[in-house]
Amino acid sequence: MKKYVFWILVGIFFSSCDTQEEIKTISTKELKALLAKENIQLMDVRSPKEIKEGSIKTAMFANYFDNDFAKKVTQQLNKLKPVYLICRSGNRSGKACKILKEKGYNVINVSGGYNQWKKEN
């Protein structure tokens, strides 16, 4: 019985350490306001096919599904500045945020992604 209690407590501990809680998010409206007044690092992690359908003018690109995604992204970014990540809906960019956060970047996920951006702009 003690063994089961131990593993339950270990599970609770590690589930509370999830980095998702620590990932900041902004809306696409907040992103638009930032883009109007600042030169920010905006990384679009969608596929090339998705990018062809439209993109934000100042964004950098790295396909989340590429095997060397982390390497490509870190080569383009300044670690001293915040990084805003966007994808189609906010899911992939959230995963990309976790990867970059583990590498020491200050990351912000754009909730709603490019789909929401298109609806509003």
| Residue 97 appears among annotated catalytic residues | no
Lookup: tokens for 98: 């976790």
Residue showing tokens 């998705």: 50
Residue showing tokens 């590429």: 66
Q: What is the dihedral of CA 59, 115, 33, 106, to 10 degrees?
A: -60
Residue 83, beta-bridge partner list: 41, 107
Given a contact cutoff of 8 angstroms between Cβ atoms, the answer to whether 85 and 60 are in contact is no
Active-site option among 31, 45, 87, 110 = 87
- Taking alpha carbons only, the member of 95, 110, 112 closest to residue 41 is 110
Residue positions annotated with a catalytic role: 87
